[in-house]
């Protein structure tokens, strides 16, 4: 409180004599804020840090008293790769996350285009209705989806998961694209139309290149959401199509020493997505809040 | 019909109007109307199917006698499933658990997220990196966070928390047997705190710095500034956070699945997990569907407020 007041007083009078104590209090304040901010940030991040570290320990070190000093090993990574068939689950995750994202973008781009550039009275209603489909709790429709998938042979298939994830993310993808398209100046498209560009050309040569950053971050958000989805993947897959979320869950009933291997597998499973998350955090807010917070 | 009045419950109506409007063409551009129809049709019709088919099936099954283990016993059951469901103590225990989980996680993430957002808005060294670190848990898949917490953090003998407790001379806690619900709440709050932080940090960017400066000039301390300027500014973002979290937290599943499996007893069985047990472990389709209908209704109550809020925002 005192710091704030000092700050304001000096801001008003700004005499050179008072500068030096003020500068030091400000510096002090910055220092303490820094210490507090970093302490809390590190505490929140600690479980992830600890997991990465444990992945490089031997199983014996992993369960020993917590220590930062140990001889690092890559043996867990090698073992997870060779014995547990990590590659298969990773492959499933990649196919399902990227497949569903591409499909969602393909379906959403035309819809978002027409909503942003050819709005009618009903556009708002359609957008809100799309949002409302997101509110249907997955567990409420678990039974019918499970039975339908069983009957048509989609249980434990990548195709099945791609379908579910595409539909799960479609509303968010449409919304996000819509907000990005709306931000684009209309004149450019108008000019293109004057020059005789058809709708398809307009979209391919003008809209897509100009909104590529927005489309990319929309895609990244969809990838993140699909990659981390754990309700449908746990319930609809078992051995064949299981993505990493389900594979990691198989560590929950362990025999013997397994922490280091769990950590190595987990680190590999989350590393790419955390980086994606860091890259898109700003744009992500739009998608996650349906444009309600910008 | 104003957009603000569109609710999830009434949303089927909205869909029919979408198709309808293309015939009546309010915009007056035939080509525009036609294009709208063909461009939006795939997205709208797929989402419509994805919503209406399972929803109708859930409601239908909930009125049927349908157990996969007893193939002979089928037929219309009326409200029997609901009767069983509502007289089942497990349902009320699951409702209580759901309420506790949602409530506590909301309190922790919203209060914590607001304070952290204010802190990370201040200028200090390496602020950008500190922010990124604090946001990271949101991108960790739920099964990983649950297992890392269960094994490496909360393990009664070898976990980091018990080591810290022992170093401080306190007794070690066997988290998952003595405090199962608390443990799950901690894990879920750890995942969602960064979400609240991320949204509220974004909202902080639009805070009028001149206003804060003016208040400071008038002698307002940081606490007064927080309560009279920052908090009112964040009000809308906070309510968005609360509603979005509520919708997701109502159906927490993976964290329970890999740690406690709903136990011990029913201590950590929430509504989502109860439906899972009834459906995929007991194979009682009718009963599970009745539970599903209850979950849908609960989520819709929250959703109506969220959709209204977004609608208001869309109008500006």
- A108 CB neighbours in chain B (<8 A) are 43
CA distance B202 to A294: 7
Q: Which residue in chain B is spatially nearest to A254 when comparing CA positions?
A: B151
CA distance A108 to A232: 22
Domains with residue ranges and CATH for chain B: 3-62 (no CATH), 83-315 (1.10.3720.10)
Q: What is the mean pLDDT of chain B?
A: 82
Q: What is the DSSP string of B135-169?
A: HGGGGS-HHHHHHIIIIIIT-TTT-HHHHHHHHTT
- Across residues B59-81, what is the average pLDDT? 80
Q: CA nearest B186: which of A43, A278, A221?
A: A43
Mutation site, B122, B132, B143, B204, interface A, largest A CB count within 10 A: B143
CA distance B259 to A230: 14
Peptide bond into B264 cis (omega under 30): yes
Q: What pLDDT is attached to residue B112?
A: 95
CA distance B216 to B262: 51
Q: What pLDDT is attached to residue B31?
A: 52
Record the tokens describing residue B316, joined without a space.
């500006």
Q: Are B91 and B85 in contact (CB under 8 A)?
A: yes
* H runs (alpha helix) in A118-238: 123-133, 142-152, 158-182, 186-194, 199-201, 208-210, 212-228, 231-236
| Distance to chain A for B310, nearest Cα, Å | 6
Q: Does B95 reach chain A within 8 Å, measured CB to CB?
A: no
Q: Does A263 reach chain B within 8 Å, measured CB to CB?
A: yes
- A273 CB neighbours in chain B (<8 A) are 139-141
* Residue B104 neighbours by CB under 8 Å, 6+ apart: B185, B189
- Would you call B55 and A290 a contact, using CB atoms and an 8 Å cutoff? no
DSSP state at residue B284? B
pLDDT digit of tens for each residue in chain A (294 aa)?
344 444 444 444 444 444 566 677 777 878 888 899 999 999 999 999 999 988 888 877 777 777 777 778 888 888 888 776 788 899 999 999 999 999 999 999 989 988 888 888 888 888 888 888 888 888 888 888 998 999 999 988 999 999 999 999 998 899 889 888 888 877 777 777 777 777 777 778 888 888 888 898 889 889 988 999 989 999 898 888 889 888 888 887 765 568 888 888 899 989 989 988 888 887 788 778 777 776
Q: Are A243 and A93 in contact (CB under 8 A)?
A: yes
Say which residue the tokens 């990659």 belong to: A227
Residue B42 has pLDDT above 80, yes or no: yes
The H-or-E segment that residue B64 falls in is strand B64-67
- Would you call A37 and B135 a contact, using CB atoms and an 8 Å cutoff? no
Q: For B271-309, what is each residue's pLDDT tens digit? A: 889 888 888 877 888 888 888 888 888 888 888 887 887
Q: What pLDDT is attached to residue A257?
A: 63
CA distance A140 to A157: 22
| Distance to chain A for B54, nearest Cα, Å | 5
């Amino acid at each position: 409180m005192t710091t704030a007041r000092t700050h304001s007083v000096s801001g008003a009078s700004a005499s050179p004599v008072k500068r030096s104590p003020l500068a030091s209090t400000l510096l002090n304040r910055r220092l303490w804020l820094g210490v507090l901010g970093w302490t809390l940030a590190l505490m929140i991040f600690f479980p992830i840090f600890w997991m990465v570290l444990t992945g490089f320990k031997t199983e014996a070190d992993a369960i020993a008293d917590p220590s930062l000093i140990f001889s690092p090993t890559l043996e867990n990574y090698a073992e997870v790769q060779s014995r547990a068939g990590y590659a298969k689950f990773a492959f499933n995750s990649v196919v399902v996350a990227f497949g569903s994202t591409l499909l969602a973008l393909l379906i959403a781009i035309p819809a978002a285009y027409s909503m942003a550039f050819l709005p009618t009275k009903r556009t708002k209603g359609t957008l809100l209705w799309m949002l409302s489909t997101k509110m249907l709790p997955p567990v409420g429709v678990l039974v019918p989806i499970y039975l339908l998938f069983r009957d048509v042979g989609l249980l434990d298939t990548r195709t099945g998961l791609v379908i579910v994830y595409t539909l799960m993310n479609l509303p968010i993808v449409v919304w996000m694209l819509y907000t990005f398209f709306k931000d684009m100046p209309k004149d450019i498209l108008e000019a293109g139309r004057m020059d005789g560009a058809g709708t398809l050309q307009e979209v391919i040569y003008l809209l897509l290149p100009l909104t590529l950053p927005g489309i990319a971050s929309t895609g990244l958000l969809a990838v993140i959401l699909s990659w981390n989805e754990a309700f449908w993947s746990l319930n609809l897959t078992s051995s064949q199509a299981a993505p990493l979320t389900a594979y990691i869950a198989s560590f929950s009933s362990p025999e013997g020493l397994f922490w280091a291997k769990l950590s190595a597998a987990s680190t590999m499973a989350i590393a790419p997505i955390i980086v994606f998350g860091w890259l898109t955090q700003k744009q992500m807010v739009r998608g996650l809040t349906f444009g309600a917070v910008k | 019909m104003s957009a603000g009045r569109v609710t999830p419950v009434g949303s089927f109506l909205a869909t029919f109007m979408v198709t309808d409007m293309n015939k009546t063409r309010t915009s007056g551009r035939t080509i525009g109307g036609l294009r709208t129809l063909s461009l939006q049709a795939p997205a709208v019709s797929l989402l419509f199917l994805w919503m209406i088919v399972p929803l109708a099936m859930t409601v239908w099954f909930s009125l049927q006698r349908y157990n996969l283990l007893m193939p002979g016993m089928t037929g219309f059951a009326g409200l029997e499933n609901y009767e069983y469901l509502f007289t089942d103590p497990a349902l009320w225990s699951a409702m209580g658990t759901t309420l506790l989980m949602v409530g506590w996680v909301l309190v922790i993430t919203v209060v914590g997220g607001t304070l952290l957002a204010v802190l990370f808005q201040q200028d200090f060294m390496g602020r950008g990196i500190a922010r990124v670190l604090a946001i990271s848990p949101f991108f960790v898949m739920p099964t990983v966070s649950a297992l890392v917490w269960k094994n490496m953090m909360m393990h009664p003998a070898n976990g980091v928390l018990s080591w810290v407790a022992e170093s401080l001379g306190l007794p070690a806690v066997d988290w998952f047997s003595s405090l199962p619900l608390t443990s799950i709440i901690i894990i879920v709050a750890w995942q969602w705190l960064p979400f609240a932080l991320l949204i509220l940090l974004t909202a902080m960017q639009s805070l009028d710095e001149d206003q804060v400066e003016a208040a400071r000039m008038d002698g307002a301390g940081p606490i007064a500034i927080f309560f009279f300027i920052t908090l009112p500014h964040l009000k809308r973002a906070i309510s968005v956070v609360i509603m979005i979290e509520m919708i997701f937290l109502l159906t927490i599943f993976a964290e329970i699945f890999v740690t406690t499996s709903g136990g011990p007893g029913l201590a950590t069985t929430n509504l989502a997990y109860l439906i899972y047990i009834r459906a995929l472990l007991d194979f009682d389709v009718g009963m599970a569907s009745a539970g599903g209908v209850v979950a849908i209704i609960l989520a819709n109550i929250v959703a109506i407020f969220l959709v209204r809020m977004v609608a208001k925002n869309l109008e500006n």
